[in-house]
Amino acid sequence: NAGVTQTPKFRVLKTGQSMTLLCAQDMNHEYMYWYRQDPGMGLRLIHYSVGEGTTAKGEVPDGYNVSRLKKQNFLLGLESAAPSQTSVYFCASSSSRQVQYFGPGTRLTVT
């Protein structure tokens, strides 16, 4: 059981470039989440999904898009990266309203 995995671990982008972060879970969880972690701000929810084919906006969705085509995968896309999106991104999954399990994080720098 790998739990929650994230790809890539690190990435440096130039302003305006695009990229996709991949989150995968092998626990058959219905719920999946994308957070960003910034110093002094804690974790803020970007988007979430309550099941395959569904997505919803969280607290800070602007500049990001997501897709949940398969139950085990949750993709986070940045269409045109900005320096303000420099952050550590965490994916999490949970079964219904149970405990959330987090991935190892992706450290993204936008120059």
Partner 1 sequence: AQRVTQPEKLLSVFKGAPVELKCNYSYSGSPELFWYVQYSRQRLQLLLRHISRESIKGFTADLNKGETSFHLKKPFAQEEDSAMYYCALNGRGSQGNLIFGKGTKLSVKP
Task: Single out the segment in contact with partner 1 by CB under 8 A; choices: 17-25, 41-49, 60-68, 70-78.
Answer: 41-49
Asked if 88 contacts 105 with a C-beta cutoff of 8 angstroms, the reply is yes
- Give the count of residues interacting with partner 1 (CB under 8 A): 25
65 Cβ neighbours under 8 A, 6+ residues apart: 47, 76, 77, 79
Contact between 28 and partner 1 by CB under 8 A: the answer reads: no
Residue with tokens 């949970």: 94
Residues that bind partner 1 (CB under 8 A): 4, 31, 33, 40-45, 48, 50, 56, 58, 90, 92, 94, 96-100, 102-105
